Amino acid sequence: MFIVPEYLKDIKENPAESGILTDLDGTLTEIAPTPGHVTLDAETQELLCQLAQKFKICGIVTGRSIADARRIVGLDELMYVGNHGLEQWDAGEYSLAVDPLPYRAIFDRIKPALMETFGAENIEDKGLVLAVHYRQHPEREPMIEETTRNFAQQYHLSRFHGNKLWELRPNTDHSKGSAIKEIAQKYALTQVMYSGDDYADYTAFQAVKALHGVVVMVNHQESPPDLKKEADIAVNSVGEMKDIFHYLVG
């Protein structure tokens, strides 16, 4: 069992002023062959429910769309930040950081070409983000990099290299980190804990560090080794992440 560091004690003992925020894939769930194969176990779901009851805020901050994250987690008690900060679901209210219509027009134009080239099963349409996965075909990564780079230049999109994927996004400053800063300010949080596992969580790690919060990294086979230095706590499995949650709700 993972030994939880003492400095989580402040968060545990001040739940009315604290927020527990976490990534989903690779942090609460095991990495799956495709996004559609990801599931959340009943124990973690129950822990999230207890965290939501105890703390001022408990939320999922993910690169998935909110609709997909809510489908996997299955809890309306939580706050959800989706598409790397581009959308939010809070107490039943849904909001977008950008006007989706121009981007939907672009994605609807380029999506068929991506599907034809790389296979429909490797294209993830997240509404405001279009992802091309190569976990099943690592040899395609150079071609995917070039193709997404060309589309990003042609349509003035932002591009991100995530865990075995390339993403095309709206060209904005919104990120997991900016969303966390807004949540902390909106709810006057004095303590924040965030857990994540890869480069998509880097802005979240930086935001939490700026807030003097606690950063937890779930270290697995596909986690970037150099990201570990950004964390206050490193755990080695999804199971050890659950140990931290058990400590916080206990």
The domain made up of 6-97+173-249 has a fold known as Rossmann fold (3.40.50)
Report the predicted TM-score, pTM, of the whole model to 2 decimal places: 0.94
- Using CA atoms, how far apart are residues 53 and 187, in angstroms rounded to an integer? 16
Whether the pLDDT of residue 3 is over 80: the answer is: no
> Does pLDDT of 16 surpass 70?
yes
pLDDT exceeds 70 at position 2: no
pLDDT band at residue 134, thresholds of 50, 70 and 90? Answer: very high
Question: What is the tens place of the pLDDT at every residue in 70-104?
Answer: 999 999 999 999 999 999 999 899 999 999 999 99
Domain layout of the chain by residue ranges: 6-97+173-249, 100-169
Model pLDDT, residue 18: 97
| Segment 203-242, tens digit of pLDDT | 999 999 999 999 999 998 888 888 888 999 999 999 999 9
**Interval 241-250: pLDDT, tens:** 999 999 999 8
| Average pLDDT over every residue of 194-210 | 95
Nearest to 129 by CA among 206, 64, 48: 64
Mean pLDDT for the chain overall: 95
| CATH number of 100-169, picked from 2.60.98, 1.10.10, 3.90.660, 3.30.70 | 3.30.70
**How many other CB atoms are found less than 10 A from the CB of residue 93?**
7
Number of Cβ within 10 Å of residue 250's Cβ equals 9
Could you check whether 6-97+173-249 and 100-169 share the same CATH topology?
no
pLDDT tens, position by position, 151-190: 999 999 999 999 899 999 999 999 999 999 999 999 999 9
Quick check: 21 and 220 in contact, CB under 8 A?
Answer: no
Residue type at 158?
A: S
Written as six digits, the tokens of 60 are 């999922």
* pLDDT band with cut points at 50, 70 and 90 for residue 1: low
For residue 26, pLDDT over 80 is answered with yes
Q: What pLDDT shows up at residue 36?
A: 84
- Secondary structure of the chain in HEC code, one letter for each residue: CCCCCHHHHHHHHCHHHEEEEECCECCCECCCCCHHHCCCCHHHHHHHHHHHHHCCEEEEECCCCHHHHHHHHCCCCCEEEEHHHCEEEECCEEEECCCHHHHHHHHHHHHHHHHHHHCHHHEEECCCCEEEECCCCHHHHHHHHHHHHHHHHHHCCEEEEECCEEEEECCCCCCHHHHHHHHHHHCCCCEEEEEECCHHHHHHHHHHHHCCCEEEEECCCCCCHHHHHHCCEEECCHHHHHHHHHHHHC
